[in-house]
Amino acid sequence: MTTTMPEVREPAPPSSDRDRRPKRGGGVMSSTGLYIATGTAAFLFLVPFYLLVRNALSTDAEITGENWKFFPTHLQWGNVTELFTDETVPFAQSLWNSAVVATLHTIGVLLVCSLAGYALARIPYRHANKVFYAVLGTLMVPTAVTFVPSFVLVSSLGWVDTYRGLIIPGLFSGFTCFLFRQYFLGFPKELEEAARVDGLGYWGAYWRIVVPNSLNFFAAMATITFINGWNSFLWPLVIGQDPGSWTVQVALSNYMTNQTVIFHLIFMATAFSILPLVFVFLFLQRWLVQGIAQTGIKG
């Protein structure tokens, strides 16, 4: 019988402090490249804002002149007064109209689409998938196809130049409904089952359990919906025929006509029109990415 001796391994020589140190060459280069790329992106991102503020405080001659200055010699703060005292374009009223329309539009879309998405994700119904595919089918229909019938319907109801005509036709969004359904499919069922034990139905579970535990996602959807509602142009242009019912985007378009282009008022009005969006985005930005990530959509 042959006895196999166990293999004896020599202990590895102790590594020196130099060997244990992390190699920082690539790390420094990568960090430097990251800082350069971030700084370049930030600069390119801020250039339009600089041009917006610079031109808003300039005269038309300084905006279109050949001799470019980094900032005008005399800041034209009177452009602000001219903007809000212009009788042909009620800009202050248009800001108020946009705020009301965008806010009510956001609340309505969140309520309608979240209820639809929750029903499609949780309520057992043999035709639920068919209804869901029908909702997705609405995303493939061009807006131009439904634009004229929607206007005829709104006009027949007498909703032209009213908040109802501006808000109600856009309360349902197939894409938002799809996102809510995807989110609710990943929502823990154990919480809802515990609510059922306590005697809550679907509405009680939705309102008392699901909504309070989904505020991040609701905030993300609110941000997207508010921005879309604020930036809407074509539908408010058709429905808001009276200057008193113009939204801010419609008011902006009236500073540029076939006869004249009032550059300093265009830039000043644009600066005021984007302020609400900047505040909303800065306040809700951390929920925006989290909410989209929680939908379960893979890129």
For residues 248 and 295, the model is more confident at: 248
Question: Lowest-pLDDT range, 9-23, 121-135, 140-154, 210-224?
Answer: 9-23
Query: Residue 298's pLDDT is what?
Result: 44
Confidence band for 29, pLDDT divided at 50, 70 and 90: low
Nearest to 104 by CA among 52, 168, 181: 168
Report yes or no on 8 lying in a domain: no
Helix or strand (DSSP H, E) at 282: helix 263-293
Residue 105 pLDDT exceeds 90: yes
Confidence band for 20, pLDDT divided at 50, 70 and 90: low
Please count the structural domains in the chain.
2
- Whether residues 111 and 254 share a domain: the answer is yes
Report yes or no on 2 lying in a domain: no
Residue 292 pLDDT exceeds 70: no
Report yes or no on 23 lying in a domain: no
- Whether residues 32 and 104 share a domain: the answer is no
Tokens of 258: 């076939």
- Whether residues 46 and 156 share a domain: the answer is no
Percent of the chain's residues with pLDDT above 70: 86
- Whether residues 210 and 258 share a domain: the answer is yes
- Whether residues 52 and 174 share a domain: the answer is no
Confidence band for 14, pLDDT divided at 50, 70 and 90: low
Tokens of 245: 């019912």
Q: Which domain holds residue 41?
A: 28-76
Confidence band for 246, pLDDT divided at 50, 70 and 90: very high
Report yes or no on 4 lying in a domain: no
Q: CA–CA distance from 107 to each of 111, 123, 182 (Å)?
A: 6, 23, 20
Query: Residue 70's pLDDT is what?
Result: 83
- Whether residues 46 and 152 share a domain: the answer is no
Q: CA–CA distance from 41 to each of 38, 281, 282, 284, 286 (Å)?
A: 5, 18, 18, 22, 20
Query: Residue 297's pLDDT is what?
Result: 47
**C-alpha to C-alpha distance for 292 and 178, rounded to whole angstroms:** 12
Confidence band for 1, pLDDT divided at 50, 70 and 90: very low
Report yes or no on 193 lying in a domain: yes
